[in-house]
Amino acid sequence: MNSKIVIPVIIVIAAIFSVFYFKSFNTSNPVENPQTQAEGNYTDWQTRTFNEAGLSLSFKIPPDTTFRKEIADDGGRIRVASFYIEKGAKDNPDYQLYAVYQPLEEVAEQDLEKVKTGMDPASIKNTTIDGYKGIEGMANFSDPKAHYSTVIIKDGKMFSISTWPPTSENKEITDKIIETFDFQ
């Protein structure tokens, strides 16, 4: 065989082999161990607290999210205390958890039945957050702004958590955040 052809062919083969060999050792994008994630390993998550209108709550959020709170009051009397956890563009987030606490409204367990009327009946199930009973399901299921909703009653007050957009991935993020809820 002609050495003018053999040498370039060997160089090309060696270059291709080198690329594949070094790519196999690239660890810049390690694969996360799904078992660690399933066990609730939130070591890189940030702790947040929400102490408003008599509600004291601490929880953890993923590092790629932002936290902000909003208070609606009437002359210094708080009627709604809420917070957002978001990921993505501020005007159109990829993920949004919106929590609302209404300190002026007394509610009872039968009020959860009223909440159910705005949910897809097939999606409703009982839930518990840090020992407080409630329900969850797909709210406004026929509306383009449909969202997952979780509602509990804490000390006679309604506390609701909505997840938008209602994808299974976003519900999974919300469920993981809720696992870290610690009411004081």
Q: What is the DSSP letter of 127?
A: E
Fold of 43-183: Protein Transport Mog1p; Chain A (3.40.1000)
Low-confidence ranges of the chain (pLDDT < 70): 1-41
Say if strands 182-183 and 55-61 run parallel, antiparallel, or are unpaired: antiparallel
CB 157 within 8 A of CB 102: yes
pTM of the full structure: 0.75
Work out the burial of residue 162: count CB atoms within 10 Å of its CB; fewer than 13 is exposed, 13-18 middle, 19 or more buried: buried
Give the pLDDT confidence score for residue 91 in this predicted structure.
86
CB 148 within 8 A of CB 139: yes
Give the pLDDT confidence score for residue 4 in this predicted structure.
55
